[in-house]
Amino acid sequence: MAEKILNIPLKKEEIRALRVGDVVYLNGPIFTSRDMGHFMIKKYLEENRPLPVEFEGSAIFHAGPVVKKKEDGGYDLVVIGPTTSIRMEPYHKMVADLGVRAIIGKGGLGDGSLKQFQEYGQVYFQAPPGCAVLLSEGIANIEDVHWLELGVPEALWVLAAVNFGPLVVGMDSHGVSIYKELEEKAKKRREEIYR
């Protein structure tokens, strides 16, 4: 298990070097996106409209930040924690095609995404649930926000990360998923108990 600091935009070779269990800290712009944010990305692509951010080499955080509006119209981050990622599974191929290198969230993604992680050179980072205050300390400021009409949690926030983490590699680009391993161990243990 290694500990690494990576800068965004992320490079494919850096992602390929990561293994399940590695601990990573990120520097650079991180985008938040949840259900409606992914839907908006899909809608923009279908309508051939330019997206508000460049996703090549990016990290998407499945999260809805708690923010405070400033007098100048900008926003300060209060706290931010991960939301359950599996809801975004139907959009993962689209996200992969955009060049996103890392997904940050909780609970992992499905088998389809795991295959795409191998094909595209992507990784899934488990953010520590229940540590929203700690995670917010790794965000220097909010740089921008798009689609605020969707509501604060669903908007696409552009966050400036400085040593953002700790994040644990939960799914790597080599077909390994800690979630799948845990599920298989749990099933085996359940069978032993029922016998």
Distance between CA atoms of 142 and 149, rounded to whole angstroms?
17
Burial label for 133, CB within 10 Å (0-12, 13-18, 19+), is: exposed
Is 92 among the catalytic positions? Answer: no
* List 38, 62, 92, 174, catalytic entry: 38
Q: Tell how far CA 192 is from the center of its chain.
A: 35
Measured distance CA(82)–CA(135) in Å, rounded: 9
For residues 111 and 86, is the Cβ–Cβ distance under 8 A?
no
User: C-alpha angle with apex 5: 2 to 6, nearest 5 degrees?
Assistant: 115
Give the Cα separation of 53 and 134 in Å (integer).
26
- What CA–CA distance (Å, rounded) separates 76 from 173? 34
Residue 161 half-sphere exposure toward CB, CA atoms < 13 A: 29
Active site residues: 38
